[in-house]
Structure 1
Amino acid sequence: MTRPIIEVEDLSYKYARDSVLEQVSLKVPEGAFLALVGPNGSGKSTLLKLILGLLRIQTGTIKLFGEDIRQFTNWDKIGFVSQKANSFNSGFPASVLEVVQSGLTKKIGLFKFPGKEHRKKVLEALESVGMLDFKDRNVGELSGGQQQRIFIARALVSEPELLILDEPTVGVDSKNVHQFYELLEVLNKNMGITLILVTHDVGTVTNIVTHVACLNKRLHFHGDANKYHSLDEKELSSIYGHGVQLLSHNH
């Protein structure tokens, strides 16, 4: 049996008096590609922050790699990519190489110079996302799609087993979105990295992910992507709280 990378049990969370998550339980098996979907304000970002240890658990439990999150220390096993392409400062004076290398700061140490083995890892990470030829470019000169590839390389350079991406295609044009999803497939299928993708692009991702979790305070669906794809508009509308029109995309 495939071991669970993440185990969430009866997780609830409130901001002041506002309930954001209510008794959420889910497991993410090793090697899975999970799409986390749901309407705005459904608790997706809060769930991510709890999994990443950025918020303290109020009710329930989270285990990472079989260990209670309160004792978990091996954060290098987890990579995170946010919506940086939508808000990145185009004038930021750093090369692609420097940005990716910053993902090794913890291993290299502050104010220390990287060694040959660190540079090798950086180049390998850039090659894995198809951006090796851009290593000497200023990261601010790149397109949104290219920047997101760089941020993925930055997350990959520490060789994580789990990669979490929070709506990474925000600000990326449709052509590059397609290529971006192809990259995620390669990372999952060829490199064996477990992925969690927070997205609103439901119609596209159901063709590339293995599992779907649909969150709206409570977990309304959690299972195989094919089963999610078979839900009708009425069932989806009850989850989202408003009318949903299904769109099918050929990947």
Structure 2
Amino acid sequence: MQDNHPIIKVKNLSYKYTKDKVLEDVSFEVPRGAFLAIVGPNGSGKSTLLKLILGLLRTQEGTIKLFDENIRLFKEWQQIGFVSQKANSFNSGFPATVFEVVQSGLTKKLGLFKFPKKADKQKVKKALEAVDMLSFQHRNIGELSGGQQQRVFIARSLVSEPQLLILDEPTVGVDSKHVHQFYEMLEMLNKQLGITLILVTHDVGTVTDKVTHVACLNKKLHFHGDAYEYNQLNEEELSSFYGHDVKLLSHNH
């Protein structure tokens, strides 16, 4: 039976670190199976919003529901995978193989000192296969390019079989010529594996043909709708969201 409840429901969310609000009265829903891009200028509250959704910050005003449950009562965190900008700051001398890095994503499920079973090893291989990195399983993580490392970190998040995957600027440190392939892989995870994706990105022109929804955040939520509606916005409307001039780029695929 298809669950029609939104996977995330944010209502009247505001947050401040000092006296000034970094998020103000933000409300939106993420349907199950969506691929949402969150865009906005630096300092617009994108990272704060992610931290609130991931339970790393406690809500002050407004509510967040995950899988139809208030975030303060939510316990099923293995349902949510998170990939940060790790490739840009990863210690290339770290002595672990690709297989071991992905397998470490099962630590919470297995417990710290339990050995993985055959079924767990199959999960690791399946996750590596999903990001097209199975042939690299015995390579040291430090030998890989930034883009390959990010694929491995996504596999590490996928190994616990989450329903929702959140990615924070995942193409930082990825060679520009591989960025398009990277987004094609995310589209495949969304369409073929049915994983709901939230992507914080500056590359919105590159991903509008891959994502299903776009949210423009600049303290307030200035736009939230499907990718087609976003593509109909003109430069003046986009500039009003961003607080400065925005030039629309034409991307031919």
How far 1:73 sits from its partner (Å)?
0.1
Match of 2:27 among 25, 31, 37: 25
The residue correspondences of 1:49-60 to structure 2 (distance < 5 A) are 49-60=51-62
Amino acid at match of 1:155: S
SS in 2 for 1:247: coil
Amino acid at match of 1:20: V
Match of 2:244 among 213, 229, 242: 242
Contact 1:204 1:248 in 2 (8 A): no
The residue correspondences of 1:116-195 to structure 2 (distance < 5 A) are 116-195=118-197
User: What is the aligned-residue identity percentage?
Assistant: 76
SS in 2 for 1:175: helix
Match of 1:5 among 1, 4, 7: 7
Match of 1:40 among 39, 42, 50: 42
**Cα separation, 2, equivalents of 1:128 and 1:250:** 26
Amino acid at match of 1:81: V
**Cα separation, 2, equivalents of 1:112 and 1:97:** 17
Contact 1:204 1:250 in 2 (8 A): no
How far 1:202 sits from its partner (Å)?
1.2
Which runs of no fewer than 5 residues in structure 1 stay unpaired?
Answer: none
Amino acid at match of 2:169: E
Amino acid at match of 1:212: V
1:78-115 Cα offsets, whole Å, 9 max, x none, are 00000011111111111101100010001111122111
Partner of 1:103: 105
Partner of 1:79: 81
Give the alignment's TM-score, normalised by structure 2: 0.98
**Which consecutive segments of 4 or more residues in structure 1 shift more than 6 A?**
none
Contact 1:5 1:30 in 2 (8 A): yes
**Cα separation, 2, equivalents of 1:130 and 1:224:** 29
Amino acid at match of 1:38: G
Deviates more, 1:106-115 or 1:62-71: 106-115
1:164-222 Cα offsets, whole Å, 9 max, x none, are 00000011011211110010010000000000000000111111100000000000000
Contact 1:209 1:225 in 2 (8 A): yes
SS in 2 for 1:176: helix
How far 1:18 sits from its partner (Å)?
2.2
Match of 1:198 among 200, 214, 221: 200
Contact 1:145 1:173 in 2 (8 A): yes
The alignment covers a number of residue pairs equal to 251
Match of 1:68 among 44, 67, 70: 70
How far 1:249 sits from its partner (Å)?
1.3
